[in-house]
C-alpha cells in the first residue's frame, strides 16, 4: 500500500496552518526512493534528486538522509544543497546557458560540473585543462515524452551538445586535455516508454571510447508517475533489469565498469505532495458551475502551462452527492485548474485537495496579482511541521525601493 495522507489528516493540517497550503509526506518520498534503489540494486547506480522540482531545504535534508545525491540547475540550488548538508562530491551541477562566471563559482565550490555547450566546453578546457573533471551533456536526438514543451531531446531543443558534434567535442577534449568523467543525457519528462532510456544509453555507450577517463553515464530523468487514476508509471523494475544487462554486456565488450546515474525529480516528490485550497465562491453560469478557490496559477501553474491533470477531491464533504464543476482560481487571468470534474458537492468553505502536487508546484509559484505564496508543511513520523511560512504583505514590498 502506498503511503497516503487521508482526507481527515489533510483537513486537520489545513485547519492548523491555513489555506492554501502545500503538504509533503516524507515517508512517501522514502517509498519512491526505495523503489528506485531496489530496481537498480544490481547496477552501480547513483540517484541525484533533481532539486528544481522542490527545493525547500527541509525536503533536501530529508532526501539527503535517505542517501540520495543532488542535481542542481543553478548556482543557488547548489548553495541550497550545500546548506542542506550535501557534500560537493554528491552534487551535480547541470546548468543551461549560464554565464561562465557561474560555472567558475560552481568549480570553486567543488561540485561535479555538467557542460552543455561547445562554447563553455572550450573555455573551461582552455582554462583548466585536465585539472578539474567535467561531465558533458549530449543531445542524443531522441524524442521523448508526450509534450513538446517538456521534451528536450528533439533537434530544436536548446539542451545538450548534439551527438552529431562528437567530432568537435573530441577536438576540444584532445586539444585542451580535458578530463571527461561522465556523459549525460536528459531527454524530457513524463517518459513512459523505457526504450527512450535504452536507446539513449546505446548512443551514450558509443561515445565512451572517446573518453578514456569516463566513470559514469548519466541517463537523467523523465520518470513518469500516474497523475490520473489508471495512468501508467515508468516501469523502473524492467528498466533496472535492462540497464543492468546493458552495462554487463558493455563490460564484457570493453572491460570497463561504469556507474549509471539518474536524476529523478518528479518520481521522488510528486506523489508525496498535496495542495489544499478552500472554495471561496460557487458560481453558476449558463455553461457550468464554477468552484472558485483561494488560489490560482500563481500557486499551481501546471494545468495552465502544460495542460496537466491534477486529481482533485473535496475533503470536507466526502459524502456529498457528486456534481460536475469547473475548478478555477481567484486571479484576474484565465486560470482553470480543471474542467468537468466530478466532485462531492462543493460548498463555499469546503477544502479541495490537488494530488501529485509535490513536484513543480510550490516551486513554480509566483506573486502574480500581488497574491501571497502559500505555506509549506512537512509530515514526518506522523507530525506536521511548518517548513515555510505563508508570505506576508511585507514580502511583496521586500525589494521595492520606497
Ligand atoms: C528537470 C530535470 C530533471 C528532473 O526531471 P523530472 O521529470 O522531474 O524527473 C533531471 N535532470 C535535469 C537536467 C533536469 O533539468
CA separation for the pair 265, 268 (Å, rounded): 6
284 and 168 housed in the same domain: no
pLDDT more than 70, % of the chain: 97
What pLDDT shows up at residue 68?
98
**Per-residue pLDDT tens over the stretch 188-225:** 878 888 999 999 999 999 999 999 999 999 999 999 99
Average pLDDT score, the chain: 95
Question: For 41-59, what is the mean pLDDT?
Answer: 98
369 and 324 housed in the same domain: yes
Phi, psi of 19 (to 5 degrees): -125, 160
- Domain membership of residue 367 (yes or no) is yes
Q: Where are the strands (E) in 91-218, listed by range?
A: 91-93, 112-115, 134-139, 161-162, 180-184, 216-218
What pLDDT shows up at residue 187?
84
Nearest by Cα to 279 from 201, 370, 346: 346
CA separation for the pair 37, 299 (Å, rounded): 32
**Per-residue pLDDT tens over the stretch 246-266:** 999 999 999 999 999 999 999
Nearest by Cα to 115 from 55, 264, 107: 107
Nearest by Cα to 220 from 297, 272, 298, 153: 153
Distance from Cα 60 to the centre of ligand 1, integer Å:
15
307 and 379 housed in the same domain: yes
What pLDDT shows up at residue 151?
61
Structural element, H or E, at residue 123: helix 118-128
pLDDT at residue 183 is higher than 70: yes
Among 231, 265, 299, give the residue marking a domain's end.
Answer: 265
- Domain membership of residue 14 (yes or no) is no
212 is in which domain, residue-wise? Answer: 40-265
Q: Give start and end residues of each alpha helix (H) in 159-291.
A: 166-176, 195-207, 236-254, 266-269
56 and 85 housed in the same domain: yes
104 and 156 housed in the same domain: yes
- Crossing angle between the packed helical segments 100-109 and 75-83, to the nearest 10 degrees: 20
CATH number at 364 reads 2.40.37.10
Higher pLDDT, 153 or 241: 241
With a 6 Å cutoff on the Cβ, whether 359 touches ligand 1 is yes
Domain count, the chain: 2
96 and 239 housed in the same domain: yes
Distance from Cα 220 to the centre of ligand 1, integer Å:
7
283 and 215 housed in the same domain: no
- Domain membership of residue 175 (yes or no) is yes
249 and 360 housed in the same domain: no
Q: Given the CA of residue 360, which atom of ligand 1 is nearest to it? A: 8
DSSP string covering 259-290: EEEE--SHHHHSTTEEEEEEEEEEEE-SS-EE
The preferred substitution site among 97, 186, 239, 302 for testing ligand 1, maximizing ligand atoms within 8 Å of CB, is 186
Among 245, 265, 285, give the residue marking a domain's end.
Answer: 265
Distance from Cα 295 to the centre of ligand 1, integer Å:
26
277 and 259 housed in the same domain: no
128 and 170 housed in the same domain: yes
With a 6 Å cutoff on the Cβ, whether 266 touches ligand 1 is yes
What pLDDT shows up at residue 189?
79
- Please state whether beta strands 322-328 and 289-293 pair in parallel, antiparallel, or not at all (unpaired): parallel
The preferred substitution site among 49, 93, 153, 189 for testing ligand 1, maximizing ligand atoms within 8 Å of CB, is 189
- Crossing angle between the packed helical segments 236-254 and 195-207, to the nearest 10 degrees: 20
Cβ-count burial of 321 within 10 angstroms (0-12 exposed, 13-18 middle, 19+ buried)?
exposed
Q: pTM to 2 decimals?
A: 0.96
255 and 279 housed in the same domain: no
Among 265, 284, 317, give the residue marking a domain's end.
Answer: 265
Contact 106, 92 (CB under 8 A): no
**Per-residue pLDDT tens over the stretch 127-178:** 999 999 999 999 998 866 555 555 666 777 889 999 999 999 999 999 999 9
CA separation for the pair 50, 67 (Å, rounded): 14
Q: Bridge-partner residues for 336, per DSSP?
A: 328
Q: Is 332 a catalytic residue?
A: yes
- Domain membership of residue 11 (yes or no) is no
- Please state whether beta strands 91-93 and 322-328 pair in parallel, antiparallel, or not at all (unpaired): unpaired
For the beta carbon of residue 259, count every other beta carbon within 10 angstroms.
16
204 and 340 housed in the same domain: no
Amino acid at each position: 500500500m502506498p503511503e497516503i495522507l487521508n482526507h481527515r489528516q489533510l483537513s486537520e493540517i489545513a485547519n492548523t496552518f491555513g489555506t492554501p497550503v502545500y503538504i509533503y509526506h516524507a515517508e512517501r518520498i522514502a517509498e519512491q526512493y526505495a523503489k528506485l534503489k531496489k530496481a537498480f540494486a544490481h547496477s552501480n547506480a547513483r540517484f541525484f534528486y533533481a532539486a528544481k522540482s522542490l527545493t525547500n531545504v527541509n525536503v533536501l535534508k530529508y532526501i539527503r538522509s535517505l542517501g540520495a545525491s543532488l542535481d542542481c540547475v543553478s548556482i543557488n540550488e547548489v548553495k541550497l544543497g550545500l546548506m542542506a548538508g550535501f557534500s560537493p562530491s554528491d552534487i551535480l551541477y547541470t546548468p543551461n546557458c549560464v554565464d561562465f562566471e557561474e560555472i567558475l563559482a560552481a568549480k570553486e565550490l567543488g561540485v561535479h560540473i555538467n557542460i552543455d555547450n561547445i562554447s563553455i566546453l572550450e573555455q573551461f578546457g582552455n582554462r583548466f585543462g585536465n585539472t578539474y573533471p567535467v561531465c558533458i551533456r549530449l543531445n542524443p536526438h531522441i524524442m521523448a515524452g508526450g509534450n513538446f514543451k517538456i521534451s528536450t531531446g528533439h533537434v530544436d531543443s536548446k539542451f545538450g551538445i548534439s551527438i552529431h558534434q562528437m567530432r568537435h567535442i573530441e577536438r576540444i577534449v584532445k586539444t585542451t586535455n580535458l578530463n571527461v568523467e561522465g556523459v549525460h543525457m536528459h531527454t524530457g519528462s513524463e517518459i513512459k516508454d523505457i526504450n527512450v532510456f535504452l536507446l539513449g544509453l546505446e548512443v551514450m555507450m558509443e561515445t565512451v571510447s572517446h573518453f578514456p577517463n569516463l566513470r559514469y553515464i548519466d541517463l537523467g530523468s523523465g520518470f513518469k508517475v500516474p497523475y490520473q487514476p489508471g495512468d501508467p508509471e515508468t516501469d523502473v523494475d524492467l528498466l533496472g533489469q535492462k540497464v543492468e544487462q546493458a552495462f554487463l554486456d558493455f563490460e564484457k565488450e570493453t572491460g570497463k565498469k561504469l556507474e549509471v546515474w539518474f536524476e529523478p525529480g518528479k518520481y521522488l516528490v510528486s506523489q508525496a505532495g498535496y495542495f489544499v485550497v478552500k472554495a471561496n465562491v460557487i458560481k453558476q453560469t449558463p455553461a457550468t458551475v464554477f468552484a472558485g478557490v483561494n488560489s490560482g496559477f500563481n500557486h499551481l501553474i501546471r494545468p495552465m502551462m502544460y495542460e496537466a491533470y491534477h486529481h482533485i477531491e473535496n475533503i470536507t464533504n466526502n459524502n456529498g452527492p457528486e456534481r460536475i464543476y469547473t475548478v478555477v482560481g481567484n486571479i484576474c487571468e484565465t486560470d482553470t485548474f480543471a474542467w468537468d470534474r466530478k466532485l462531492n458537492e462543493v460548498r463555499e468553505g469546503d477544502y479541495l485537495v490537488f494530488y501529485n502536487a509535490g513536484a513543480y508546484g510550490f516551486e513554480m509559484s509566483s506573486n502574480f496579482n500581488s497574491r501571497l505564496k502559500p505555506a509549506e508543511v512537512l509530515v514526518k513520523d506522523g507530525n506536521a511541521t511548518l517548513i515555510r511560512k505563508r508570505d506576508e504583505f511585507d514580502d511583496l514590498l521586500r525589494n521595492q525601493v520606497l
